[in-house]
Amino acid sequence: MTVTTLQPLVENAVRHGVLKKAEGGRVTIRTERWEDEILVIVEDNGV
């Protein structure tokens, strides 16, 4: 996975989640190994 693949996911989490919260928010990027694959999870605590 390249940065250009991850960037739109993070931008979307910020734009549609974190920025809509008056008190700010959090974007979390996690990775998990699942069998022969690597999962990348982008989460926000926005709306």
Q: What is the pLDDT of residues 1-47, one digit of tens each?
A: 666 888 999 999 988 888 878 787 889 999 999 899 999 999 988 76
Residue 10 contacts residue 18 (beta carbons within 8 Å) = no
What are the φ and ψ backbone dihedral angles of 37, each rounded to 5 degrees? -120, 160
- Residue 46 tokens read as 């926005």
Q: How many domains does the chain have?
A: 1
pLDDT of residue 3: 66
Distances 5 to 28, 42, 47 between C-alpha atoms, Å: 16, 12, 23
Dist. CA 2–CA 14, nearest whole Å: 19
The residue range of the domain holding 33 is 3-44
pLDDT of residue 30: 95
What end-to-end distance do the CA atoms of the chain give, in Å? 27
